[in-house]
Structure formats: C-alpha cells, structure tokens
Amino acid sequence: MSKTEEAKKISKKEARKMVYDKLAGALAEYKDVVKEKRFTTNLKKASKLFAADIAKASNRMNGEPRKKRKHAENNGEIQLEQHLAE
C-alpha cells in the first residue's frame, strides 16, 4: 500500500522550500525596497524558523506520535519520592 500525498511525511527541507516560495511571493513588493541579498537572507532565516514547526505539526497530524519527554517523567518521580520521604 502506498501512502497518499496528504499522509506522506514532510521533511524540514521540503517545508523550508515551500515556506520560502510562499513568503517570497507574498513579500515580492518589498524586494525593491530592500537589497536583494538581504531580502533572500532574511527569507531563508524566516522560512527555516517556520519550517521546523510546520514539519513537526504536519507529521504529528499524519500519525507520527509525539516523543515523550524523559526529563519531565523523571523529575515528577523524584518530586514524588521526596514528598513521600517527608
């Protein structure tokens, strides 16, 4: 069975490209005001920030389980043991 396009996992790199293209199209009118090198650099930075969260959210929606936080579980157990010792 093959996965559909919607159920397919999206990588950070693919998400970054999609976000970059959408932002570049939406902000094209400001390209003349700002230098082109600065414009592309800032778009790359913004798309990188957005892409990480978008990839996580879309993969989570497609069935990838969340990673459990080991630190939080251990911290809760330690606090419980300290409370019981008192």
Within a domain: 3: no
DSSP secondary structure code for residue 28 in this structure: G
Tell me 7's DSSP state.
Answer: T
Tell whether 74 is covered by a domain.
Answer: yes
d(C-alpha 57, C-alpha 45), whole Å: 19
Q: Give the residue numbers spanning the domain of 61.
A: 12-85
Whether 53 is covered by a domain: the verdict is yes
- Within-domain flag for 2: no
Give the pLDDT confidence score for residue 75 in this predicted structure. 60
Residue 58 CA to chain centroid, in angstroms?
A: 9
pLDDT along the chain (86 residues), means of 10: 57 90 92 91 93 84 67 60 63
Let me know the angle formed at the C-alpha of 5 by 13 and 55, rounded to the nearest 5 degrees. Answer: 35
Number of domain units in the chain: 1
Q: Provide φ and ψ at 42, rounded to 5°.
A: -70, -35
60 is a domain residue: yes
pLDDT value of position 18: 92
* Global confidence as pTM: 0.59
Which SS3 state, helix, strand or coil, does residue 64 take? coil
